[in-house]
Amino acid sequence: MRAKVPSLTISVGLETLEISHTFQPGCIKSVAGENQGELSDEDDDLCPVECVREFKTDEEFLNILEKAKETNSLVVVDFYRTSCGSCKYIEQGFSKLCKGAGDEDAAVIFLKHNVLDEYDEESEVAERLRIRAVPLFHFYKNGVLLEAFPTRDKERIVAAIMKYSSPTKNV
């Protein structure tokens, strides 16, 4: 099953982000029990870096959430730390997911945020949201946090995306 996600354009300040993707649920598989050192052919299909947008400030994050309300988009945020091995592991899978999610009437915005700032201190976003464990994934719709969990399991992330981007759900 391949579903086309409508194109979505977000402007924050002088930057503009356009997202238009296709999601194939069958392409994402759990790596539990598999040799994590091996890369499959699917790993060659990594999404372009700009597909997952990194934000640095609380103001930028809140602006993105506000814009997402206008289009009823699901916002998925990967909170990470550069020195975290599990964060590096799931980053590759998260990049693949950014190819798109949901179906014709839904859009998904993929974000990431380093919980440590350039001075190795807790970022303002991490402090406000009281983030204590990484990798941590947040799912927002209409500016509201729907679900949050720490994981390196792509299947769990996909399940949450499908749950909250389904047009039959009124979240």
Tell me: the pLDDT tens digits for 52-77? Answer: 889 999 999 999 999 999 989 999 99
* Structure confidence at residue 99 (pLDDT): 61
Cα gap 135→152, rounded to integer Å: 7
Assign domain 53-165 to its CATH architecture. Answer: 3-Layer(aba) Sandwich (3.40)
Residue 147 has which token pair? Answer: 């679900």
To the nearest whole number, what is the mean pLDDT of the chain?
Answer: 74
Q: Which of 27, 47, 51, 87 is catalytic?
A: 87
Indicate the pTM of the whole model. 0.68
Cα gap 61→38, rounded to integer Å: 35
Is 169 a residue whose pLDDT tops 70?
no
Cis omega before residue 167 (within 30°)? no
> Who's near 161: CB < 8 A, 6+ residues apart?
74, 76, 97, 101, 102, 108, 139
**Mean pLDDT within 158-165:** 91
Is 21 a residue whose pLDDT tops 70?
no
Residue 71 DSSP label:
H
> Who's near 14: CB < 8 A, 6+ residues apart?
none
98 among known catalytic residues: no
47 among known catalytic residues: no
**Could you tell me whether strands 136-141 and 22-23 are parallel, antiparallel, or unpaired per DSSP bridges?**
unpaired
Q: What is the percent of the chain where pLDDT is above 70? A: 63
Identify the band that residue 3 occupies on the pLDDT scale cut at 50, 70 and 90: very low
* Structure confidence at residue 125 (pLDDT): 96
DSSP SS3 for 161? helix
